[in-house]
């Protein structure tokens, strides 16, 4: 309960600190110290009457201490160099009235996707500042040492400070924000490395943040926000059926559809229908529409593959994304047969962005398997298994190869 409360309060408290001091690094450090103090004291003494106000008070004190420490350092340096005092270092006054309750989370989203940051840094900073995750939690989610993630976050904050671009400026960063949330969800739903099939905390956090973003944006804003949230819900609805009793990976066509989350499917379907009705169609809406077609099918055999292939064709023309092209190949093979899919794969393999990727080998193995080319299927399944960092995917591919060998 306390961890969830702190996670939800973190972005609100950080917003208040940023209004008092535009230095993101200083504000974020103060908030993290307040969160740490809360996690220790609230367990021991119980929750305060107003937890958010408690955090703001403690973070404000930490921020004031930082200001005073910086002012003292400047005075010492000035004395050592024989310089005249540069003037008083002013500590910002507290916000008045309801300022502490003001929710500027949307500004944090856009700030964390600062144009000077790399995608990996933007992901880490979003999870830290908006999601309220600790550095250790983020490091574990992405399978890197905590020290490495701490350095990445520290560099991101310093990069924002050095850029001179105001942190909360929205500019045209919505696309970057959506991309970051998509990456977080994708890693949570299908872990790219290690032993878990899912990283549930990341998938759930991405959905929570997407809901927050959708709630903060006007109804007439970009329908891609609703499209992304719909995509997450429609995909996440299948999560429970993606693993077997021993934690093994279960592919879509073999899943027990009675285990799919019908509440998430209904919500996601309603969201995508509303988004598509607004006219401007984007990549996330197309992917959500595809996910809805999968979720609405009573069985794998009842899947509307011609419509899915058509939607993937639109997605490829819109984005040129090689993974979308690979999915289009799979859909076309379900419509026209595995031989047609293999011919399309030969052209896709010339794309340097995907050549050598394990998913390309896995699809080739699958198509040879369907075509009855057992030896070729074994070769490609094993090649795919050797290239993936995901242990469940590796085991699944080796199992497929073993059954055919």
For the residues 217-224, what does the mean pLDDT come to? 74
Facing residues of 389 across strands? 193
Greater confidence (58 vs 395) lies with 395
pLDDT at res. 340: 95
Is pLDDT at 229 greater than 60 in this prediction?
yes
- Does pLDDT of 39 surpass 90? no
Mean pLDDT along residues 202-210: 88
Q: Are 178 and 228 in contact (CB under 8 A)?
A: yes
pLDDT at 101 exceeding the cut of 50: no
**In the predicted model, is pLDDT for residue 69 greater than 80?**
no
pLDDT at 329 over 90: yes
Q: With CA atoms as reference, report the closest residue to 166 among 104, 253, 228.
A: 104
Answer yes or no: is pLDDT of 272 > 80. Answer: yes
Per-residue pLDDT band at 92 (split at 50, 70, 90): very low
Q: What is the pLDDT of residue 102?
A: 41
| Cβ neighbours of 366 (radius 10 Å) | 21
pLDDT of residue 137: 75
Mean per-residue pLDDT, 352-371: 93
Task: Report the candidate in 88, 87, 111, 124 with the shortest Cα–Cα distance to residue 17.
Answer: 111
* pLDDT of 273 strictly over 80: yes
| pLDDT surpasses 70 at 86 | no
What is the pTM for the complete model shown? 0.78
Return d(Cα 232, Cα 292) in angstroms, integer: 11
pLDDT tens track for 331-340:
999 999 999 9
Q: Three-state SS for 215?
A: helix
Structural contact between residues 361 and 388, judged by C-beta atoms closer than 8 angstroms:
no
Cα–Cα distance between 186 and 141 in angstroms, integer? 12
Mean per-residue pLDDT of the chain: 84
Span 354-376, average pLDDT: 94
Of 375, 349, 344, nearest to 361 (Cα)? 349
Residue 90 in this model has a pLDDT that exceeds 60 = no
- Ranges 22-26, 89-93, 190-194, most confident: 190-194
Q: What confidence score (pLDDT) does residue 100 get?
A: 39
Task: Give the containing element (helix H, strand E) for 350.
Answer: none
**Non-local CB neighbours of 57 within 8 Å, separated by 6+ positions:** none
For the stretch 231-250, pLDDT in tens is: 999 999 999 999 999 889 99
Q: Which residue has the higher pLDDT, 68 or 372?
A: 372
Percent of the chain with pLDDT over 90: 40
Q: Would you place residue 76 in the very low, low, confident or very high pLDDT band (cuts 50, 70, 90)?
A: low
Query: In this structure, what token pair is assigned to residue 384?
Result: 């795919």
pLDDT at 355: 86
Q: Which residues pair with 151 in a beta bridge?
A: none
In the predicted model, is pLDDT for residue 169 greater than 60? Answer: no
**pLDDT higher than threshold 90 for residue 302:** yes
Structure confidence at residue 219 (pLDDT): 58
**Whether pLDDT at 194 is above 90:** no
């Amino acid at each position: 309960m306390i961890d969830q409360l702190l996670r939800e309060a973190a972005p609100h408290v950080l917003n208040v600190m940023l209004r008092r001091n535009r230095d993101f690094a200083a504000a974020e450090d103060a908030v993290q110290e307040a969160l740490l103090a809360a996690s220790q004291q609230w367990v021991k003494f119980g929750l305060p009457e107003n937890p958010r106000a408690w955090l703001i008070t403690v973070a404000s004190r930490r921020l004031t201490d930082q200001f005073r420490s910086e002012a003292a350092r400047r005075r010492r340096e000035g004395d050592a160099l024989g310089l005249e005092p540069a003037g008083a270092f002013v500590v910002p006054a507290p916000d008045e009235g309801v300022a502490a309750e003001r929710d500027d989370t949307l500004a944090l989203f856009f700030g964390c996707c600062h144009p000077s940051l790399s995608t990996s840094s933007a992901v880490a900073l979003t999870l830290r500042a908006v999601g309220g995750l600790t550095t250790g939690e983020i490091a574990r989610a992405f399978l890197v040492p905590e020290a490495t993630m701490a350095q990445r976050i520290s560099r991101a904050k310093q990069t924002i400070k050095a850029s001179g671009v105001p942190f909360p400026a929205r500019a045209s960063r919505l696309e970057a924000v959506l991309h970051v949330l998509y990456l977080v969800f994708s890693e949570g739903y299908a872990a790219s490395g290690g032993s878990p099939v899912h990283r549930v905390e990341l998938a759930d956090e991405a959905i929570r943040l997407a809901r927050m973003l959708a709630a903060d944006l006007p109804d007439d804003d970009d329908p891609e926000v609703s499209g992304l949230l719909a995509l997450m819900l429609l995909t996440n609805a299948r999560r429970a059926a993606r693993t077997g009793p021993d934690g093994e990976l279960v592919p879509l066509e073999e899943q027990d559809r009675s285990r799919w989350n019908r509440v998430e499917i209904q919500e996601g379907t309603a969201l995508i229908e509303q988004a598509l009705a607004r006219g401007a169609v984007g990549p996330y809406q197309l992917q959500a529409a595809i996910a809805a077609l999968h979720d609405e099918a009573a069985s794998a055999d009842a899947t509307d593959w011609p419509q899915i292939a058509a939607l993937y064709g639109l997605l490829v023309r819109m984005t040129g994304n090689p993974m979308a092209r690979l999915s289009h190949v799979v859909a076309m093979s379900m419509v026209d047969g595995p031989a047609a899919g293999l011919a399309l794969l030969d052209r896709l393999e010339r794309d340097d962005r995907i050549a050598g990727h394990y998913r390309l080998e896995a699809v080739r193995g699958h198509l040879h398997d369907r075509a009855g080319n057992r030896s070729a299927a074994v070769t490609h399944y094993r090649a795919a298994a050797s290239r993936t960092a995901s242990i469940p995917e590796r085991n699944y591919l080796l199992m497929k190869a073993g059954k055919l060998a």
